Amino acid sequence: MPDLPLVSVVIACFNSVRYLSCTIDSVLNQTYKNIELILVDDCSTDGTVALINEYIARDQRIRLIQRKQRGGRPAITKNTGLEYITGEFVCFLDHDDYYHPKKIEYLLSILIQNPECIAAFHDIDLVDEHGNFLNKYLDNFTVEANQYLQGIGTSKYICNIRFFAFQSIKYAAIHTISIMIAIERFGRNNLSFDTRFQVCDDTDLWIRLGLSGQMIYLDESLASYRQHGTNITRNQIKVQEDALILMEYNFIRISDKINQQEKKLLANRISSYYDDLGWMYRCKKIRKKSINAYINAWKWSKSGKHLLHAIKAIFPVRKTEAA
């Protein structure tokens, strides 16, 4: 399909052999065929590279990039892949997840029809390690984000120019496997993941997209995300710490773009995250960090309950509290 736009798909891999065949097949079996698949291996020690080479022998659309040094963070591996893409549009896929057959066709069509939009995204299915359906990722999104959305057809919505405020105060809505970005519309130099973040590099990019222009949401599940014990997001303390680094940074970034009510909502969200982190530390018997987290929660909201939690953090968790 030489007259149709090339779509690049980037997959970051590390010891990925368990699910990788399903993941690769879901890209190669897309109804839209003019794609390039960039797989970046972050120094795997299992059969990942051998498996990818088997696919390369059968399909010329695949390219393997092998990092010589372990990056250790998704942002680093994905940025390596972005150095090699040649498409006009780009999608991402985690090594243990998979696309539904029409994902690329549908998002590309939407972006071609709406040249003012810089990206498009969709809902995803949350599934277990065997692919059994568990839940929708954005189950109530169109209701919760109603004031930031404009319907443009069946199950299609334009996210307005203030969507970044919803992403900051509520949740980012976009998932790594749900997005397609029009590279030149967003700006090729803007397209990278911030490596200061261990987990929230993708959330940072999604908010930057929201700050940069309009996006389109398709209220349909076009990919599946596996939930299993080895997901990086299972380390809840790491996730919470990284989320707070992002939220505090983002508060400064958007302070002159949001009103006082929105600032208060975002500050309260940060405070709540610190309070939750304090509890996580306390349960792990990390007393000093627990107390500091509760004090930070108080600094953001000035609610006395956080100071009470800080005092309680001096003592071990009682059974009645854990319940």
Which among 73, 106, 102, 92 has a CA at the least distance from the CA of 183? 92
Contact between residue 92 and residue 177 where contact means Cβ atoms under 8 Å apart:
yes
Three-class SS state of 226: strand
Given a cut of 50, the residues of the chain with pLDDT beneath it are: 1-2
| pLDDT value, residue 322 | 65
pLDDT digits (tens, 9 = 90+) for 136-192: 999 999 999 999 999 998 899 999 999 999 999 999 999 999 999 999 999 999 999
Which amino acid is it at 208? R
Average pLDDT, the chain: 94
pTM of the model: 0.93
DSSP classification of residue 233:
G
- CA distances (Å), 192 to each of 66, 80, 180, 242, in order? 19, 9, 14, 18
Taking the C-alpha atoms of residue 212 and residue 187, their distance in angstroms, rounded to an integer, is 9
Block residue for tokens 């692919």: 131
Do 9 and 36 contact (CB within 8 A), yes or no? yes
The pLDDT of residue 228 = 80
What is the Cα Rg of the chain in Å? 21
What confidence score (pLDDT) does residue 1 get? 39
302, two tokens: 């000035």
d(CA 42, CA 195): 15
Tokens linked to 33: 């065929």
Listed in sequence order, the residues at least 6 apart from 237 whose beta carbon sits closer than 8 Å to its beta carbon are 277, 280, 281, 284
Q: Which residues pair with 40 in a beta bridge?
A: 12, 65
Pair 262, 169: CB distance under 8 Å: yes
> What share of residues in the chain are helix, strand, coil (percent, to 5)?
45, 20, 35
Q: What is residue 83's predicted lDDT score, i.e. its pLDDT?
A: 96
pLDDT number for residue 230:
63
